[in-house]
Structure formats: C-alpha cells, structure tokens
Amino acid sequence: MIYYITPTYPRPEQIPELTRLGHTLMHVPRIHWIIADDQSLCSTNVLNLLRRTGLPFTHISSPKPYVYKGTNFPRGVSNRRAALVWLRENVREGVMYFGDDDNTVDLQLFDEIRRTKKVSMFPVGLIGDYGISAPIIKDGKVVAFFDSWPGSRTFPVDMAGFAVNIEFLTPTATMPYSAGHEEDKFLMSLGIKLDDIEPLADNCSKVLVWHTKTVKFKKPNLKIDIERISKLPK
C-alpha cells in the first residue's frame, strides 16, 4: 500500500489542483490518499472531491501556527506532521510519500516507490536554477546530490524526491518548522545514512515527478464584469 500525503490549503486553485491529482491517483492500485488541510476544520469541498474519487482516504486537519504569515514560511508543515502522527498510530506497513497538491506525477512513479525497502530517492523536475534536483549515482549508490541550492543540507532534495517504508518511521521521525530545510531535517530525523538510500527511476536517470506551479488566480473585478454583461445585445 502507498500512503500518499498531500498537504493542502484553501485558495481558488485548490479544487482544480486536487481534481487533477485525484484523477491521477484514480489510476493507481493499492493507494491510500491522506489529505491534510492546514485549517482548523476539514473543508467540505475537499471532502466531496475525495468521496467522488472512490479512493480509500483519510481527511485530517491541523491548522498552521498563526505566527507563519508572509511568503517565506514553512509551507504545509503542521498538516504533514499531523499525517505522520496518523500514520504512526494507524499503519504498520506500506510506503509513504509526500505529494503536494500542485505537483505532476507520472504513473510509473508509483510502481517505483512501491519497492522502497527503507528510503528511496529519485529526480524531481522543474526545481530551482538547474531545473532539476537529483541524486548522483556511482556504482548503483547515491554519492552526492545535484541541486542548485545546497543550503548546508545533508540531503539537498525536494519533498517529492523520496519515499519511506513505514517500518522506518521511527518515533523520533518528524518535520520541523524550518523553511527550506523541511526535507533535510525530516530525513535526518529518520537517522538514515547515505548508504541506506535506494536510487529509483533507472539509477535516477529519469524524471517521473515535476514540481509544477500554478499561476495565482487574480480576483476578478466584478464591477467591470457586470458592466460588460449589461452591454450585451438583447
């Protein structure tokens, strides 16, 4: 079973993003979708969408701490943490993966991550100045990382670039509120070494997931719209 953890928050793009992702997940066997709202209540719109997919799901909510405002705050952390707690309390085996609501995933990724014994890694497209973030492989082992922002990280990888076998979700496993270091600190909290990492996607030579971003929708100017409508010929 793959546990696909998606943090999400309300904005005009939320339902379109989740519709697209949900329609990808509907092609995947043995998948359980954990949708984690960053609000104090689970959104009814999101719940209706989840029900319509017919997928097994868990819908939880965990509001982000009010201190995190502005642009450079740890995004989707309280909700991912809540998903981790739910997994630890309810699931003994399977593979977990952090899949944001706006990413684009090739169906082959699911066949790949299902094989994760401990921690697997693979490239993510459309990241930073290099356009990609990927482990570098030598003799079938991860020896370094190609990422335009090393940021003094031990594991400079994107959130979408790794999967973890739930057996290795230790009691100390958590994600700190540390903007830019969420992935690294989560992987460090698992106590893994470079040698433990299983490279997937043909020795990390293929991109099977992209960090796509949607242009933010501008609020329409309703006054102008109404004027235009009133000018339509009768």
Cβ proximity of 126 and 212 under 8 Å = yes
Single-letter code of the amino acid located at 8? T
The structure tokens listed for 12 are 């005009």
Q: Which of 182, 183, 198, 227 is catalytic?
A: 183
Check binding of 38 to ligand UDP (CB under 6 A): yes
Cβ proximity of 14 and 8 under 8 Å = yes
Kindly tell me which residue out of 1, 9, 88, 185 binds ligand UDP, with binding defined by CB under 6 A: 9
Provide, rounded to whole angstroms, the least separation between the CB of residue 79 and ligand UDP: 5
Binding to ligand UDP (CB under 6 A) within 158-187 occurs at none
Binding to ligand UDP (CB under 6 A) within 47-66 occurs at 64
Kindly tell me which residue out of 37, 102, 112, 198 binds Mn ion, with binding defined by CB under 5 A: 102
- Cβ nearer to Mn ion, comparing 100 with 183: 100
Single-letter code of the amino acid located at 96? M
Kindly tell me which residue out of 43, 100, 114, 181 binds ligand UDP, with binding defined by CB under 6 A: 100
Check binding of 75 to ligand UDP (CB under 6 A): yes
Question: What whole-number distance in Å separates Cα of residue 194 and Cα of residue 182?
Answer: 18
Question: What whole-number distance in Å separates Cα of residue 60 and Cα of residue 34?
Answer: 8
Residue 213 sits at the vertex; the CA angle it makes with 207 and 217, to the nearest 5 degrees, is 160
Binding to ligand UDP (CB under 6 A) within 201-230 occurs at 213
Question: What whole-number distance in Å separates Cα of residue 66 and Cα of residue 54?
Answer: 34
Query: Which residue has 């079938």 as its token pair?
Result: 140
- Residue 183 annotated among the catalytic residues of the structure: yes
Residue 7 binds what, of Mn ion, ligand UDP, none (CB under 5 to 8 Å, by partner type)? ligand UDP
- Residue 58: strand pairing partners: 34
Provide, rounded to whole angstroms, the least separation between the CB of residue 207 and ligand UDP: 16
Measured over the CA atoms of residue 140, residue 141, residue 142 and residue 146, the dihedral's sign is negative
Q: Which range in 90-98, 99-107, 132-140, 176-184 contacts Mn ion by CB under 5 A? A: 99-107
Q: Which residues here bind Mn ion, judged by CB under 5 A?
A: 100, 102
Which residues are the active-site residues?
183
